Each structure stands twice: as C-alpha cells, then as structure tokens.
Structure 1
Amino acid sequence: MSDLGRTQRRIQLPNLTSVRRLSLWLRTHPLVGDTIMVAFLILLDVLSWGMFNVPPENYYSVGALLLCPLIIRRRQPVFAASIIAFGALLRIFTHPDDLSLPRVAEFGIFIALYTLVLLGNRRVAVAYLLFSLAQSALLISRAYYENPDNETAIEWLLINVFWSVALPAFCWLLGEFVAARRAYHAEVEQRLRMLELERDQQTKIAVAQERTRIARELHDVVAHAVSVIIVQADGASFVIKEQPAVAERSLRTIASTGRQALNELRRLLGVLRAEDENPEMVPQPNAGQLTELVDKVRSVGLPIELELTGNLDELPSGVGLGIYRIVQEALTNILKHAGPGAMATVRVDRREDSVTVQVLDDGFGTPGDLVTGGNGLIGMRERAAVYGGTLDAGPRPGGGWQVNALLPLSVRPTGPNPVR
C-alpha cells in the first residue's frame, strides 16, 4: 500500500453523507465511475435515435465508437481519443442527412479532450482540438452550404457553433483547472506526509535530548552520593577501633546516603535508555532556590506571586531539581507566550508523601510548545514521569494557562512509558 493509502486509512472522516462516501469510493475506483458514465450516455443516445434518419446499425456502431473508449480513457487516453476521433469521422459519412443535429454520443469527443488536458498530454490535446474543430467545420459546411434554403439554417448554425467551439474551449479550461487543483492537492498531501514524519522525528529527538540532560543530572546526584559514601567509609576504617562511636555515625551516614542514591537510580532507570559517555559535571539547582529563580524572572518584568508551603530544602536532590526545572520551564513559556501585562502565580506545596507544583498565568497567548512542536512541555512531562509523577498543562477556564504537577516522595519505579 502506498504512503497516501496509509495516510488516508489513518484519517478519520466523521459525519460524511452517503453521497460523499460514494464519491470518495468512486474516486478510488475510477473504472467503475467511467463505466457508469458511459452506460448513462449510451442510454440517452439510444433513446434519441428516433430524431435521426439513420439506419440503426450505422447509428449504434458510431455511438459505440464515440462512447465505449471512454471506459479506458484514464489508462490509455491517447488510444481512446484515437478511436473516438475515428468514430467522429465515420459519423460524417454515415449521417449524411442529419449532420446539423448533434448527437448525445458526441459528448465523448469533449470528454476525451478534457482527459488529454487533465493528464498532461498537451501536444496530443492540441492536435485533437484542431481535429475536433476541423470535423465540426466540415459538418457545418456540408449541412448548410448544401442546403441554403433551410429556413432554420441560422438557428442551427448558432447551435452548431456553440457545440463545436464553446464546448471544446470549456472542456480545455476545465481540464486545466482540475489538473492544477489535483497538483495542488498532491503537493499538500506530500507536505502533510513530510510534516508528519518531521513531527515524529522532532518528538523522538526532543525526548532523546531530554533524557540526555536527565542522565547528566543523574551523574551529579549519584556522584555526590558515592563520594560521600567513599569518604565516610575511609574515615570509618581509620577510627573503627579507637573511636567506634564515630565509626558508627559514619556507617549510618553511608546507609542513609546509599538508600537515597538507590531511590534515585530506581526512579531514573525506568525511563533512561541513552548512555552519555562524557557527562558534564555541572552543579544543579534545587527546590530551595525557587525564590532566587522567581526574583530573576521578576527582574525582567513579569509580576509573580510565589507561595511555598513546607520544607523544600530537605527534598531528595532529584525531586528538588525536577521541581526547579518544571517551574523554570513554565515561567519561560509565560514570558514567551502569555503576552504583555500577564501575571503569574507559582505554588509549591510539600506534603508528607508528595509535592504539588502549580504555575498559573492570566495571559492571552498560547504556549508555542503545543503549536510548534517544541520540547518544553515534553521535557516537563519527562521530568515528572522520571519520579513517578504526573504533569498536566492546558488553558484555564477563565483565560490564561496552567501547569499542574504531582511528584511523589515515596519510592515508586517508573515504567518505560509513564508519560500520559
């Protein structure tokens, strides 16, 4: 199946009428549609046989040549047009007494011309148009110059001029218009496929970049814990005989630090899949530095109300860092997208077993991460998911934007796809 077919299968088409569904089905089965059209034109042509003074074998054979090739007009347009042209020539010699009366079957000439223009056979279409005009001129000349005393000659002359000139011109223009529209739709579909692929790639790249940053931060957390354990273990080994009480305190510190590092590893190993061979050893902030962060953002002109509840300085290093980064990214989005005159509120509430983070604004803009495919919101959700938490972001009922995060403090390893 082609990429377009797969794309169409993924597209949902709700609330379509039966006629619209039939139209879409016929578009994917053009041979069926052309057969129905030919059958309808043949029926009309047969019903109009009584208007002509032509033997039935001549009438029906010419009608078949003019209409039946239209069934294969999409697959073999030049061959179909050639057969129809032969039928048009044959009409001149088989309808000597009715040359001035157009037949329904002659619509096949115009449909063939339309098809040649639509499918881009310009040279063949020009030759076919000239043939059609020459054939029409021959019909008119034989019909009227051989019967100059016909009282309705002028009226039929006007009808035949319209039939022979206006209809081919209309079919040509219609073919050009439909061809341009199909080319435009094909270009749009191609761009949609490219945008879909680009969006998927951007999402994967954003997640990979965020996981790499988390891996660097993990280095700081774990390296600090391991360094403390090594120092305490070396100290305890020197004083274990002479000062057992000091050695006991060192061992307790080692146990506490080891448990904290183990908790960090359990939380992070659930989502980390990339490996950074040369992580950057950069000190990272924590939730206790939110006041400094808010002051920095205030200094650039964004009024912020900060509400901190509970002791945030004693949070696990990873959780504190996640809270800091979530608030930082949310405030950055407000600065970029909330618009002038916006105000923000930051609430961080530490409870016994969890920490809730809420960042609100009353601006009128829309965060560009949801529109442009940036990785800000993806990064915030990844950070919350690393520690078994959740994060929701969206518009507020009264206007503005809100970010709500919940990070548990109890040990809860995350799965491979914890982000919702």
Structure 2
Amino acid sequence: MRAHPVFGDSLIAGIIGMPDLLMAAKAVGPGSRAAFLLTAVLLLVPLVFRRANPKLACYVILAGGFLQLFTWVPFNGLDYTTGGLLVRPADLALGVALYTMVAYVGRRQGAIYAVWLTVGTVCWEIFRVQQVVGVVSTLMLIVTIFAFCWAMGEFVGARRAYNAEVMERLKLLETERDQQAKIAVAEERTRIARELHDVVAHAVSVMVVQADGAGYALQTDPQMAQLALSTISDTGRQALTELRRLLGLLRGEENSEAERVPQPDTGSLPKLAEQVRAAGLPVELTMHGDLDDLPAGVGLSVYRIVQEALTNSIKHAGGSASATVRVDRTEDQIEVEVNDDGFGTPRELAGMSGGNGLIGMRERAGVLGGSLDAGPRPGGGWRVKAVLPVGSGAGRLG
C-alpha cells in the first residue's frame, strides 16, 4: 500500500462504500436514491486521489457532506425516535479527510478544515437530529471520530516530517562524504605529484650534471669520468626506488616491498649532502638541536625543501658555486636555510622563482603552518629560508 498509494486509498474507499451502497439498495427509497448516490460519489471517490491532491480532495468531500445536510432522508422514513440511523458509513470519509488535511497539508489548513466540519456538525444537529438524546449521542460519536482522526494526522504528519528531515540529512551527509572523498583524493594526488617532482627533478639534475662532466673528462681523466658514471648509477637506483614506492601508492599496493621503504627525513640530510658534493656542488651542512624526534611530516618536508633548494643550485648557480645548509631546531619550531653563492642570470632566476619546485616548497611549508621565503641574496647567489612549526598538528604530511 505504501508503494501503491492509489490502491490503498481505493481499498479504504471500498471498505467504507460497500455498506453505504447496500443501504442505498435496500433502505433508501427510490425518490431519494439519486441524491444518496450523488452524495456517496462526492464523499468516497476523492478518497482515491487524496494523496495526489489532498486539499482539493478534502474540500470535495466537505462539499459532499454539506450536500448531504440538505438532501438527507432517513432510511425508509425512519427517524431517530423509531430507530432510524442519523449517520451513514460514508460519513467516515469526513474524518479521513480531516486526517489527510492535518498529515499532508499542515496543521493550519487542518484547523480551518476542522472549523468547517464543526459548522456542518452543528447544522446537522440543529436541522436533522433535533431530539436531545440524539444530539448528545451523535455529537459524542462525531467529536470522538474527528478527534481521533486529528490525533492520527498529527502523529503521521510528525513522522513524515521526521523521515523527510532524516532523508535530507542523509543526502547532505552523502554529498559531504563524496566531497570529502574528492578533496582527499585531490590532496593525495597533489602530495604524490609533489613527491614525484622532488625525486625526479633532483635525480635528473644530478645525472645531467654528472653526465656532462663525464663527457668532458672521458678523454683527459678516465678515473673522474668513471666516478661520475658511478654517481649517475647510484642516483638512478635511488630515484627508481622512490618512484616504485610512489607508484605503489598510486596503484594501492599497500603491502608491496616499496611501501615498507622508510621515507627520508633529517637523518638523511648528510647522505643528500654527499650526493650533491659528488654531483659537483660543494655543500657545507650544519645541524643544531634535537632532530631525531621530529614528526614524520616535518622531517620529510625539511628533507624535500633542502633537496629542492640544492637541486636548483645545481641547475642555476654555475660550475664554481658552493652551498651552505643550516638546520636549527628550537623548542617549538625548526628553521631551514639554504644559501649558494652562484651567479645565475636574471632569466634563470626568474624561471626558478616561477617554477614548480618553489611552489612545491611553499606548499609543504604552508601545509604545516609554516612559511618559506626565497630570492636572490644581496651579495649574489640565492637564498631559501623556511620556518616550520613543531607541534601535534605538524606531522600531517607524512
């Protein structure tokens, strides 16, 4: 009946209408039968469509009730004193209409409808019942039926409103869940893209510099060329390991061997400095403070910022440049500063400042609630300085 409301309402109309039709066939005189049937049509037929257009259906039923007020003839001439019926089964449609108005239209419209029913009931008692005993009995019956129908309408209406609110909240929760999932996927893709950029940019820069050096030294210093080729090989293997780990994350291979490889942190900075020195850029690394218990996200960000800054120095500082890296840990923050003394043309510096590497460093610092400044030094060269907070919320990036 809930899936097919017209069928359920037709069943209700049939249950109420069958006794009414039997009365019309047996008890109502031929002269009054047409008016009796017309009233039955107005009272019963709108029940079938009361949910599709509840307000119209209810007022058509009310019109049938008022028509009955003017056309009612006691069955076979009987009145109340001789045992005649003062109400008919089809009059229950008025109670169903009151319930429908309260449950499906609203309490205010239901109250207006109840006023019309009260007016009709008073007129019925005055013009049709007249006897005191009949007035009392029929009034109590009608008031009881209408009160029950109002209470049922209030209950069902409140339940429908509650169910509608629950469904609306479920839709909002589903929408929020989908949006959060999309945001999480976008953030994860951004993080992995940033990792890929850092790994590939550093490795390729080192390999290109070493390959150029090996090409120059191949004829004059074979041992130096061999060392450069060895550095290219080591750098390539490390880059492949990092790429396998990141691609494993993209494929969802959570149990892969690459996934269990630890991510670099501040403890990996000495090894990074050695790789950069091998690539031809002298690096002086100084670290102060307790750097062993940093949150994973902070440690990874420090490493990537230093890696990207040194990669840019390799690409832009020139062959005779050198770099210094300073990492200082205080109580609640960590300061990272990378300087080089290269010359770098203005065109190269402009390209560097607008590249993805600097954007990635700033994003890393911003995610952790820190800041990053980068730009040319007054005496020549380039300077990158990042200040990252160290706290309970600083390790989200790891």
What interval of TM-score do these two structures reach, taking the shorter chain for normalisation?
0.5 to 0.7
State the shift of 1:128 in Å.
3.1
8 Å contact kept, 1:232–1:250: yes
8 Å contact kept, 2:266–2:291: no
1:245 to 213, 223, 246: 223
8 Å contact kept, 1:132–1:164: no
| Structure 1 residues 2-401: aligned runs within 5 Å | 23-26=1-4, 30-47=5-22, 52=27, 54-55=29-30, 56-92=33-69, 93-96=71-74, 97-98=78-79, 101-120=86-105, 125-142=110-127, 144-145=129-130, 147=131, 153=133, 156-262=134-240, 264-265=242-243, 268=246, 284-285=264-265
How many Å separate the matches in 2 of 1:227 and 1:259?
14
How many Å separate the matches in 2 of 1:77 and 1:142?
30
8 Å contact kept, 1:52–1:98: no
Normalised TM-score (structure 2):
0.54
User: What value does the CA root-mean-square deviation take over the aligned residues?
Assistant: 3.7
Cα 1:39–1:226, aligned 2, differ >3 Å: closer, same or farther? same
Residue deviations 1:85-132 (CA, integer Å, cap 9, x gap): 232233333224457532211011111122222233666544432232
How many Å separate the matches in 2 of 1:104 and 1:294?
87
Cα 1:199–1:295, aligned 2, differ >3 Å: closer, same or farther? same
State the shift of 1:269 in Å.
5.8
How many Å separate the matches in 2 of 1:208 and 1:116?
50
Bigger proportion of residues as helix: 2
Structure 1 runs of 4+ off > 6 angstroms?
270-273, 286-289
State the shift of 1:188 in Å.
1.6
Cα 1:54–1:65, aligned 2, differ >3 Å: closer, same or farther? farther
8 Å contact kept, 1:113–1:168: yes
Residue deviations 1:285-309 (CA, integer Å, cap 9, x gap): 28989xx999668xxxxxxxxxxxx
State the shift of 1:167 in Å.
1.9
Larger Rg: 2
Q: Tell me the SS of whatever aligns to 2:230.
A: helix
Cα 1:98–1:89, aligned 2, differ >3 Å: closer, same or farther? farther
How many Å separate the matches in 1 of 2:173 and 2:291?
36
How many Å separate the matches in 2 of 1:45 and 1:238?
111
Structure 1: gaps of 5 or more residues: 1-22, 274-282, 298-316, 319-420
State the shift of 1:170 in Å.
2.6
The percentage of aligned residue pairs carrying the same residue is 43
Write the letter of the residue equivalent to 1:113: L
Q: For residue 311 of structure 2, what is the aligned residue in structure 1?
A: none
Residue deviations 1:128-172 (CA, integer Å, cap 9, x gap): 322322322233334553x56xxxx3xx54431222222222322
Structure 2: gaps of 5 or more residues: 252-262, 270-289, 296-302, 305-398
How many Å separate the matches in 1 of 2:224 and 2:292?
41
How many Å separate the matches in 2 of 1:249 and 1:60?
109
Cα 1:294–1:264, aligned 2, differ >3 Å: closer, same or farther? closer
How many Å separate the matches in 1 of 2:27 and 2:114?
26
Residue deviations 1:11-68 (CA, integer Å, cap 9, x gap): xxxxxxxxxxxx4423xxx222212221222123334558955554444333222111
Q: Tell me the SS of whatever aligns to 2:105.
A: coil
Cα 1:195–1:98, aligned 2, differ >3 Å: closer, same or farther? farther
Q: Tell me the SS of whatever aligns to 2:52.
A: coil
Write the letter of the residue equivalent to 1:69: P
Cα 1:78–1:54, aligned 2, differ >3 Å: closer, same or farther? farther
Normalised TM-score (structure 1):
0.51
How many Å separate the matches in 1 of 2:17 and 2:291?
80
How many Å separate the matches in 2 of 1:80 and 1:220?
71
8 Å contact kept, 2:55–2:105: no
Write the letter of the residue equivalent to 1:70: L
8 Å contact kept, 2:103–2:154: yes
8 Å contact kept, 1:220–1:284: no
How many Å separate the matches in 2 of 1:288 and 1:245?
28
How many Å separate the matches in 1 of 2:268 and 2:228?
26
Cα 1:24–1:124, aligned 2, differ >3 Å: closer, same or farther? closer
Write the letter of the residue equivalent to 2:196: L
Q: Tell me the SS of whatever aligns to 1:241.
A: helix
How many Å separate the matches in 1 of 2:231 and 2:142?
100
How many Å separate the matches in 1 of 2:159 and 2:139?
30
Cα 1:177–1:234, aligned 2, differ >3 Å: closer, same or farther? same
